Structure 1
Amino acid sequence: MKKNKISKILHSIVIVGIVLTLLALLATPLVTTAYFKSRFQILSGENNIVMITYACIYICAVPYVIALFKLKNVSKFVKNNNPFSIENIKSLKSIAICTFTEVILFIGCVLYVKNFTAFYSEFLYLPISYITPIFLVSFIAVFIGFLCLILANLLETAIEIKDENDKTI
C-alpha cells in the first residue's frame, strides 16, 4: 500500500512538472520581451536578438519536453504496478537519446549566440560566462542519459529473469 502511494505521488509530481514546463514555455515570449525591453530597451520588432533567444529556448525545450512525456509513461507503468514492461525500456532509452540530443542542441545554441550575435558576444566575452553553463548542463545531461541507459539494461535483464522464472513455475 505504501509503495503504491509513493508511486502515485511521483506520478503526480511528473504531471505537475509537465504542466509547469508547458506554462513556462507559453510564458517565454512575454517574459523574454519584458526582460529585453526593461533591461536593454530592446523591442522584439527592433532587433532579431529577441527572436534568436526565443528560437534557442524552444529548440532546447523540444527534447526536454519529449523526455518529460516519456518519464510520465514510465511513472504511469510504475503507478499501475507494471514496472517490468518493454515500454519502460523503450521510454528509458528515449529519455537517454533526448538528453544526449539536449547536450548537442544546448552547446550549439550557446556557441551560435556567442559567435554570431553582437549582443551576446558583448556579454559572453569571458570564457567562464559561457563555458561553465555548457560544462554543467552537458555533465548533468550526459549523466542522466547514461543513468537511463543503465536502468534500461537493468530493467531488460530483470524482465528476462522474470520471464524465465514465470516459465519454470
Structure 2
Amino acid sequence: MERRSTLLLKIALFILAAPVLIFCIAMVPVIVKNIAEGLAGVDYAILGLVVIIYITAVPYYIALFQAWKLLSYIDANNAFSEQSVTALRIIKRSAIIISALYILALPLFFIFAEYDDAPGLIIIGLLLVFAAGVIAVFAAVLVRLLRQAIDIKTENDLTI
C-alpha cells in the first residue's frame, strides 16, 4: 500500500494534537493566574477541571501515538497483525480512562455552570464523556473484527 494513502490521516493526527497542546501550554497558566487573583466561590471547581484536563491529556496523547503506530502498520502492509490489535486495545483503554475522568469531573462542571448560570457547560461535560465512550466502543468493535480477520487469515494460510 502506498504511503500517501495514510498521509492525510497522519496530518489529521497532528491537527488533533495541536489544540490540546496549545491549550495545556498557553491557556491553563492564564486560567490558573485568574484563579490566583480570585474568582470567589468556584476556584476549587476550576482548579479541579484544570487538573482533569491535564490528566486526560496523557491518555489522549497515548491514543494519538497508538493511532500513528496503527497507520504505520497499515503503510507497512501489516494491518492484520497482533501489533494492530494491541494498538487498538490501548486506544480503547485510553478512551475509557478519559471517559471515566470526565465522569468524575461532571460535578465540577455542574458547580461551575451553577455559578456562571450557564447550563450549557454541563452539556459540554456530557459531550466529552459521550465522545470518549463512543471512541472506546468503536475501538472495541474494531479489535473484535480485526481479531476475527486475523483468525480467518491464519486459517487460510494454514490450508494453502
TM-score, normalised with respect to structure 1: 0.75
Question: Are 1:58 and 2:54 an aligned pair?
Answer: yes
In the alignment, structure 1 residue 76 sits paired with structure 2 residue 72: yes
* Cα gap change, 1:20 to 1:133, in 2 (>3 Å): closer
The match for 2:150 is 159
* Cα distance in 2 for residues equivalent to 1:140 and 1:113: 16
RMSD, matched Cα:
2.7
Output one character per residue of 1:16-44: Cα deviation in whole Å (capped at 9) or x when no partner.
433553343222334435xxx7xxxx353
Q: In the superposition, relative to structure 1, how do residues 152 and 52 fare at CA in structure 2: closer, same or farther (>3 Å)?
A: same
Aligned length: 156
Stretch of structure 1 that moved more, 8-17 or 65-74: 8-17
Q: Is 1:107 aligned to residue 103 of structure 2?
A: yes
1:135 pairs with one of 126, 132, 156: 126
Matches within 5 A, 1:4-153: 4-33=3-32, 42=34, 44=36, 46=38, 48-49=43-44, 51-112=47-108, 114-115=110-111, 121-123=114-116, 128-153=119-144
Give the secondary-structure state (helix, strand or coil) at the position aligned to 1:151. Answer: helix
Unaligned 5+ runs, structure 2 = none
Q: Equivalent residue of 1:44, what SS?
A: helix
1:65-105 CA-partner distances (Å, limit 9, x unpaired): 22111111111111222111211111111111211221111
Using a 3 Å threshold, how does the CA distance of structure 1 residues 109 and 58 change in structure 2: closer, same or farther? same
Q: 1:120 to 1:135 in 2, by over 3 A?
A: closer
Unaligned runs of 5+ in 1: none
Percent of aligned positions that are identical? 28
Q: Residue 36 of structure 2: SS of its match in structure 1?
A: coil
